[in-house]
Structure 1
Amino acid sequence: MQTKRSVIRNTALSYAGQAYTLLVGILIMPFYLGHMGAEAYGLIGFFSVLQAWLQLLDAGLSPSLVRAVAHRQGSEGLDRYTGRLLRSFEIIFLPLAGFCCVAMYAGSEWIAVHWLNAQQLSTETLVQCIGLMGIVIALRLFSTLYKSGIQGLEQHAWLNIANVIIATLRYFGGLLLVSTISHDPVHFFEFQALVGLIEAVIFAARAYQQMPTPSPLTGFDWDLVKPIIPFAASMSGTAVLWIVLTQIDKVLLSELLPLNEYGYFSLVALITTGIMMLSNPLAQTLLPRLTVLMAEGRRDDMHQLYLAANRFVCTFLFPLAALIALHADEMVFAWSGDRPAADWSRTILPWYSLGSAIMAVSAFQFYLQYAYGRMHLHVWYSIVSALITVPVMFLAIRGYGAYGAAIAWFVLRVVSFAVWPVIVHQRLAPGIHSQWLRDIIRISVMTGVGLAITEPLLRLIANENRISIFLGLAVSGLLTLLIVAASYKPLVMKISVLFSKPSV
């Protein structure tokens, strides 16, 4: 019971913190488009792609630190072990961060001239911005490392408070800058570098406090790092393949589309990334807890937690993604106030929205393998997926542009989802697949029912006013969510008991 309360509390804290971070980012980003213009916003979207690819320099060390610290919880010498391990990882990260800065500075002119299709922003501006991107990404590499150690200790309350503070500074500070001080994208990225430095210092201070090194001159400890290398290598390999799966379309389109259209595509990418990120707070608390349960030999409890978490995520993710897909242009217009962006997104966003929800739920098969410490299945899955995805996306984008990318993205996700979960479940936990499949079918069907029932109400509420559109979408989404949740039998039984209980 204590474990269950702990998971619920930590998940609630993570969702509160990351919901704020995600919501603030989603609400603020369209203002950047309005104040800086479509090309500068496209540059911010390109920065997001670069950040995803250069996070590969992490080499799987950050998730390995989470797992190593979680495994050692409650054991003797925890502080000494984690402190020495953190210092060893810091020493590995130093040349990686340096390489990031140098590579971005050296390649900035080529990217500005030969890759990005800018008509209004000067080459000098692009070069300066790209160089600053390298500094921001290097700082975030270290921030991710320190966060991972804190996450492994399951200090989710502190972690999410700190994330809220940083998100407030990053987004509201950036909005204040571009709205009242300067529209220059160079100044925007200089501010992001400053925020990145503050973030790294805050998380480093907490990590040093909770995982102190034996002395300031503590060096690299090969004996501690060596056992982690196989797991880190598998995580790094799968991370490379994961980035290929999720970012190859964004890379190809950044070269193909004019920078202003890439700004519109960045709005679509922000929405769909937000859909996939909605399960991240749960993953932050779920992965350490699944690992601990397996370490304690409580396999059945781990399976039940896995199923409950999957059910919970699908219950709110499927209605959200389906609602966005059904009303894509209305959603973008109500959100951004930019009619050209809404028109451009009309045929692109629906497919990306549905595909992103499927990919977010597909991550649960990775969580199961992570808990078992058996990553070879995920490695092979990622290799095969990448070998299929890259040529398919290349041909789709070259032939049909952004629309081709959207269709290909959705079809690939559906085919993968139809095949992969059953393989993972049969290999690791054969008894859970039937319940998992029933949950998926029930939630999908009830999502369709809910949207069909609430569509007339949405049309009654929404008109050309952005606020009314938001209100109509919110009402439709909330009612659909309630319909889906009410279709879960244990929940219905609890409600039935409450209503049938005799009064006193």
Structure 2
Amino acid sequence: MNVKYNTVIVYSSRIYTAILGLMIIPQLLVHLGTSQFGLIGIFAVIQACLQILDAGIGGVLTRESIKSRSNIDSFNNFTLIFYKIVYFFLIISVLVIVLGWFFSTNYALDFLNTTLDRNIVIYSVFSMFIIFAIKYIQGPFRSVLLSYEKHITLSIIDVIGVTISNPIALLLIIYYKGDIVTYFTIQVISSMICSILLYLCYKIYSNKVKLTLTSSGDVNDFEIKKIIHFAFQLSILSLSLIHI
């Protein structure tokens, strides 16, 4: 597909996301109030931690996925390693949810020092961790789709997610007199929908790529230890650049 067309679509999705943020945030502040809106600010901070837990694996997966398309054997070898990494991400996601439940029920009220109802705070904080965990597991699938150069597909999924989590969430809050519980419930639903779409797209495009490969050529052996080691080095470099 035309590179210029891809660029226009990708940048359009980013602009759309930015404009929505500028338009929706003031409205959320008006309809939720400062106390409830403060939880959204904490949510934004927690989401920023996602890049740290990725530990550079995303970039390495994209690189290794590209290398795996030399022949069918290399592709199959990479697929085995890929699912092992997905299982690792899944374990981390489960641990995040467990940690979220423990923190939300035992420390959330003392840490946040808010006058909001206890049940609302617990639900909101626990939802943050659930959303974090769901988005974290999306990482490996996004990386492989990037290696397939499916930038438009990723942009469309992002637009769907942003649309559900922002204007649709706001409309439900306004017309059904919702509160911060409504907001975080929609965020969870949005994250789940995006995760399902990413997984389905990964399966569809992976099957298509597999059909184009032959059994000829050198076979690339992928070792999970090397991938994690390189990912760790890449992560340190990325974090160093952010600090600078």
TM bin, normalised by shorter chain, reads 0.7 to 0.9
Q: Which runs of 4+ in 1 moved over 6 A?
A: none
Tell me the equivalent position of 2:165: 170
Output the TM-score relative to the length of structure 1: 0.43
Out of 61, 84, 88, the position equivalent to 1:88 is 84
Q: Which residue identity lines up with residue 185 of structure 1 in the other structure?
A: I
Q: Which residue identity lines up with residue 95 of structure 1 in the other structure?
A: I
Structure scoring higher RCO (CA < 8 A, sep ≥ 6) equals 2
Tell me the equivalent position of 1:23: 19
Does residue 179 (structure 1) correspond to residue 178 (structure 2)? The answer is no
2:171 & 2:157 partners in 1: Cα distance?
21
Tell me the equivalent position of 1:123: 118
Q: Which moved more, 1:44-53 or 1:79-88?
A: 79-88
Q: Which residue identity lines up with residue 91 of structure 2 in the other structure?
A: P
2:5 & 2:68 partners in 1: Cα distance?
21
1:238 & 1:106 partners in 2: Cα distance?
33
5+ residue gaps, structure 2:
211-220
Tell me the equivalent position of 2:96: 100
Out of 155, 160, 165, the position equivalent to 1:160 is 155
CA contact (8 A) 1:82 1:211 kept: no
Tell me the equivalent position of 2:232: 233
| Identity within the alignment, % | 26
2:117 & 2:17 partners in 1: Cα distance?
32
Out of 123, 126, 140, the position equivalent to 2:135 is 140
Q: Aligned pairs, how many?
A: 232
RMSD (CA atoms): 2.6
How far did residue 45 of structure 1 move? 0.9
Does residue 68 (structure 1) correspond to residue 64 (structure 2)? The answer is yes
Compared with structure 1, are the counterparts of its residues 50 and 238 closer, same or farther at alpha carbon in structure 2 (3 Å cutoff)?
farther
Out of 38, 56, 61, the position equivalent to 2:34 is 38
Provide Cα deviations, 1:461-502, integer angstroms capped at 9, x if missing partner. xxxxxxxxxxxxxxxxxxxxxxxxxxxxxxxxxxxxxxxxxx
Tell me the equivalent position of 1:52: 48
How far did residue 43 of structure 1 move? 0.4
How far did residue 135 of structure 1 move? 0.9
How far did residue 117 of structure 1 move? 3.2
Compared with structure 1, are the counterparts of its residues 182 and 238 closer, same or farther at alpha carbon in structure 2 (3 Å cutoff)?
farther
How far did residue 172 of structure 1 move? 1.8
2:96 & 2:141 partners in 1: Cα distance?
18
Compared with structure 1, are the counterparts of its residues 86 and 18 closer, same or farther at alpha carbon in structure 2 (3 Å cutoff)?
farther
2:157 & 2:181 partners in 1: Cα distance?
26
5+ residue gaps, structure 1:
215-221, 243-377, 386-415, 417-504
1:82 & 1:28 partners in 2: Cα distance?
42
Compared with structure 1, are the counterparts of its residues 110 and 237 closer, same or farther at alpha carbon in structure 2 (3 Å cutoff)?
farther
Counterparts in 2 of 1:426-445, with a 5 A limit? none
SS in 2 for 1:182: coil
Compared with structure 1, are the counterparts of its residues 111 and 30 closer, same or farther at alpha carbon in structure 2 (3 Å cutoff)?
farther
Compared with structure 1, are the counterparts of its residues 199 and 58 closer, same or farther at alpha carbon in structure 2 (3 Å cutoff)?
same
Provide Cα deviations, 1:375-394, integer angstroms capped at 9, x if missing partner. xxx5xx66xx4xxxxxxxxx
Provide Cα deviations, 1:73-101, integer angstroms capped at 9, x if missing partner. 5x223643553343122111111000110
SS in 1 for 2:149: coil
How far did residue 144 of structure 1 move? 2.7
Counterparts in 2 of 1:23-422, with a 5 A limit? 23-72=19-68, 75-77=70-72, 79-119=75-115, 121-212=116-207, 223-238=222-237, 242=239, 378=240, 385=243, 416=244
* Rg larger in structure: 1
Q: Which moved more, 1:135-144 or 1:46-55?
A: 46-55
1:197 & 1:234 partners in 2: Cα distance?
31
1:128 & 1:185 partners in 2: Cα distance?
9
